[in-house]
Structure 1
Protein backbone atom coordinates (compact mmCIF):
# COMPACT_ATOMS: atom_id res chain seq x y z
CA UNK A 1 0.00 0.00 0.00
CA UNK A 2 1.36 3.42 -0.93
CA UNK A 3 1.28 6.27 1.53
CA UNK A 4 -0.63 9.45 0.82
CA UNK A 5 1.29 12.58 1.70
CA UNK A 6 -1.57 14.88 2.57
CA UNK A 7 -0.77 18.48 1.76
CA UNK A 8 2.19 18.08 -0.62
CA UNK A 9 3.11 21.62 -1.73
CA UNK A 10 5.18 22.91 -4.64
CA UNK A 11 6.95 26.23 -4.21
CA UNK A 12 7.48 27.65 -7.72
CA UNK A 13 8.99 31.00 -8.75
CA UNK A 14 6.98 33.09 -11.24
CA UNK A 15 10.08 33.72 -13.33
CA UNK A 16 11.59 30.82 -15.29
CA UNK A 17 14.80 29.16 -14.11
CA UNK A 18 15.72 25.69 -15.39
CA UNK A 19 17.33 24.54 -12.14
CA UNK A 20 19.25 25.56 -9.02
CA UNK A 21 22.28 26.67 -11.04
CA UNK A 22 20.25 29.50 -12.61
CA UNK A 23 18.33 30.47 -9.46
CA UNK A 24 19.38 33.91 -8.11
CA UNK A 25 20.08 34.09 -4.38
CA UNK A 26 17.19 36.48 -3.72
CA UNK A 27 14.76 33.95 -5.25
CA UNK A 28 16.31 31.09 -3.27
CA UNK A 29 15.88 33.09 -0.07
CA UNK A 30 12.18 33.74 -0.72
CA UNK A 31 11.51 30.17 -1.88
CA UNK A 32 12.99 28.77 1.32
CA UNK A 33 11.12 31.33 3.41
CA UNK A 34 7.89 30.10 1.76
CA UNK A 35 8.93 26.46 2.33
CA UNK A 36 9.62 27.16 6.00
CA UNK A 37 6.23 28.83 6.49
CA UNK A 38 4.62 25.89 4.71
CA UNK A 39 6.47 23.44 6.98
CA UNK A 40 5.21 25.23 10.11
CA UNK A 41 1.65 25.20 8.72
CA UNK A 42 1.88 21.48 7.89
CA UNK A 43 3.14 20.62 11.39
CA UNK A 44 0.28 22.60 12.92
CA UNK A 45 -2.47 21.46 10.54
CA UNK A 46 -1.59 17.82 9.84
CA UNK A 47 0.29 17.06 13.09
CA UNK A 48 2.92 15.32 10.95
CA UNK A 49 6.07 13.85 12.49
CA UNK A 50 8.44 15.68 10.18
CA UNK A 51 8.93 17.48 6.86
CA UNK A 52 10.85 16.54 3.72
CA UNK A 53 11.86 18.98 1.00
CA UNK A 54 13.00 17.79 -2.43
CA UNK A 55 14.46 19.57 -5.42
CA UNK A 56 16.03 17.82 -8.43
CA UNK A 57 18.66 19.08 -10.89
CA UNK A 58 19.75 17.61 -14.22
CA UNK A 59 18.83 14.12 -15.48
CA UNK A 60 21.32 12.39 -13.18
CA UNK A 61 19.67 14.22 -10.27
CA UNK A 62 16.21 12.95 -11.34
CA UNK A 63 15.09 16.29 -12.81
CA UNK A 64 12.26 15.72 -15.28
CA UNK A 65 10.52 19.12 -15.14
CA UNK A 66 12.69 21.91 -16.54
CA UNK A 67 11.45 24.69 -14.29
CA UNK A 68 12.87 25.13 -10.80
CA UNK A 69 10.48 24.08 -8.03
CA UNK A 70 10.77 22.85 -4.45
CA UNK A 71 8.57 20.07 -3.05
CA UNK A 72 7.48 20.24 0.60
CA UNK A 73 6.04 17.01 2.02
CA UNK A 74 4.55 16.30 5.45
CA UNK A 75 6.08 13.08 6.81
CA UNK A 76 4.81 10.43 9.18
CA UNK A 77 6.53 7.56 10.97
CA UNK A 78 6.43 4.46 8.77
CA UNK A 79 4.86 6.41 5.86
CA UNK A 80 6.77 4.46 3.17
CA UNK A 81 7.68 7.74 1.46
CA UNK A 82 10.89 6.44 -0.10
CA UNK A 83 9.17 3.32 -1.38
CA UNK A 84 6.64 5.23 -3.50
CA UNK A 85 9.25 6.42 -6.05
CA UNK A 86 7.11 9.52 -6.51
CA UNK A 87 4.20 7.59 -8.03
CA UNK A 88 0.78 7.31 -6.48
CA UNK A 89 -2.09 4.96 -7.20
CA UNK A 90 -5.83 5.42 -7.02
CA UNK A 91 -6.50 7.99 -4.25
CA UNK A 92 -9.18 5.71 -2.77
CA UNK A 93 -6.54 3.06 -2.07
CA UNK A 94 -4.02 5.34 -0.35
CA UNK A 95 -3.39 5.50 3.38
CA UNK A 96 -5.09 8.54 4.91
CA UNK A 97 -3.49 10.20 7.91
CA UNK A 98 -5.98 11.75 10.28
Structure 2
Protein backbone atom coordinates (compact mmCIF):
# COMPACT_ATOMS: atom_id res chain seq x y z
CA UNK A 1 0.00 0.00 0.00
CA UNK A 2 1.41 3.39 -0.96
CA UNK A 3 2.17 6.08 1.59
CA UNK A 4 -0.42 8.46 0.11
CA UNK A 5 -3.16 5.84 0.32
CA UNK A 6 -2.26 4.88 3.89
CA UNK A 7 -2.21 8.53 5.04
CA UNK A 8 -5.51 9.09 3.25
CA UNK A 9 -6.99 6.13 5.10
CA UNK A 10 -5.56 7.32 8.39
CA UNK A 11 -6.98 10.80 7.94
CA UNK A 12 -10.31 9.35 6.81
CA UNK A 13 -10.61 7.13 9.88
CA UNK A 14 -9.65 10.00 12.21
CA UNK A 15 -12.15 12.30 10.49
CA UNK A 16 -14.97 9.76 10.86
CA UNK A 17 -14.11 9.38 14.55
CA UNK A 18 -14.13 13.16 15.08
CA UNK A 19 -17.46 13.45 13.23
CA UNK A 20 -18.93 10.77 15.49
CA UNK A 21 -17.70 12.73 18.51
CA UNK A 22 -19.17 15.95 17.11
CA UNK A 23 -22.48 14.20 16.42
CA UNK A 24 -22.53 12.93 20.00
CA UNK A 25 -22.17 16.47 21.32
CA UNK A 26 -24.92 17.64 18.95
CA UNK A 27 -27.24 14.90 20.25
CA UNK A 28 -26.49 15.96 23.84
CA UNK A 29 -27.38 19.55 22.95
CA UNK A 30 -23.90 20.92 23.58
CA UNK A 31 -23.33 21.94 19.93
CA UNK A 32 -25.23 22.70 16.76
CA UNK A 33 -24.28 20.46 13.84
CA UNK A 34 -23.42 23.25 11.39
CA UNK A 35 -21.20 25.41 13.55
CA UNK A 36 -17.62 26.65 13.76
CA UNK A 37 -16.80 23.73 16.05
CA UNK A 38 -17.28 21.41 13.07
CA UNK A 39 -14.54 23.30 11.21
CA UNK A 40 -12.13 22.80 14.13
CA UNK A 41 -12.58 19.03 13.88
CA UNK A 42 -10.52 18.93 10.65
CA UNK A 43 -7.15 19.91 12.20
CA UNK A 44 -8.00 17.82 15.25
CA UNK A 45 -8.52 14.82 12.97
CA UNK A 46 -5.21 15.46 11.21
CA UNK A 47 -3.41 15.70 14.56
CA UNK A 48 -5.12 12.53 15.77
CA UNK A 49 -4.14 10.67 12.59
CA UNK A 50 -0.49 11.63 13.03
CA UNK A 51 -0.44 10.69 16.72
CA UNK A 52 -2.32 7.44 16.08
CA UNK A 53 0.05 6.49 13.25
CA UNK A 54 3.00 7.18 15.51
CA UNK A 55 1.59 5.02 18.28
CA UNK A 56 0.81 2.23 15.81
CA UNK A 57 4.33 2.41 14.39
CA UNK A 58 5.84 2.30 17.88
CA UNK A 59 3.75 -0.77 18.71
CA UNK A 60 4.57 -2.29 15.27
CA UNK A 61 0.91 -2.70 14.34
CA UNK A 62 -0.17 -3.36 10.77
CA UNK A 63 -3.28 -2.79 8.67
CA UNK A 64 -6.55 -2.83 10.55
CA UNK A 65 -4.83 -2.71 13.93
CA UNK A 66 -3.15 0.59 13.08
CA UNK A 67 -6.42 1.99 11.74
CA UNK A 68 -8.10 0.99 15.01
CA UNK A 69 -5.46 2.89 17.01
CA UNK A 70 -5.93 5.92 14.75
CA UNK A 71 -9.72 5.69 15.22
CA UNK A 72 -9.32 5.56 18.99
CA UNK A 73 -7.01 8.58 18.92
CA UNK A 74 -9.52 10.38 16.71
CA UNK A 75 -12.37 9.62 19.10
CA UNK A 76 -10.40 10.72 22.15
CA UNK A 77 -9.02 13.89 20.61
CA UNK A 78 -6.69 16.17 22.55
CA UNK A 79 -8.84 16.41 25.69
CA UNK A 80 -9.49 12.70 25.86
CA UNK A 81 -5.81 11.91 25.34
CA UNK A 82 -4.90 14.34 28.12
CA UNK A 83 -7.39 12.72 30.49
CA UNK A 84 -6.13 9.24 29.58
CA UNK A 85 -2.47 10.13 30.13
CA UNK A 86 -3.35 11.88 33.39
CA UNK A 87 -5.21 8.78 34.61
CA UNK A 88 -2.30 6.51 33.64
CA UNK A 89 0.23 8.74 35.37
CA UNK A 90 -1.89 8.90 38.53
CA UNK A 91 -2.26 5.13 38.56
CA UNK A 92 1.21 3.90 37.64
CA UNK A 93 3.60 6.65 38.64
CA UNK A 94 4.31 6.74 42.35
CA UNK A 95 3.65 10.10 43.85
CA UNK A 96 6.68 11.53 45.51
CA UNK A 97 6.05 12.82 48.98
CA UNK A 98 7.79 16.07 49.89
CA UNK A 99 10.93 15.57 51.92
CA UNK A 100 10.72 16.92 55.41
- The structure richer in helix per residue is 2
TM-score by length of 2: 0.35
- The structure richer in strand per residue is 1
TM-score by length of 1: 0.35
Query: Higher relative contact order at CA 8 Å, sep ≥6: structure 1 or structure 2?
Result: 1
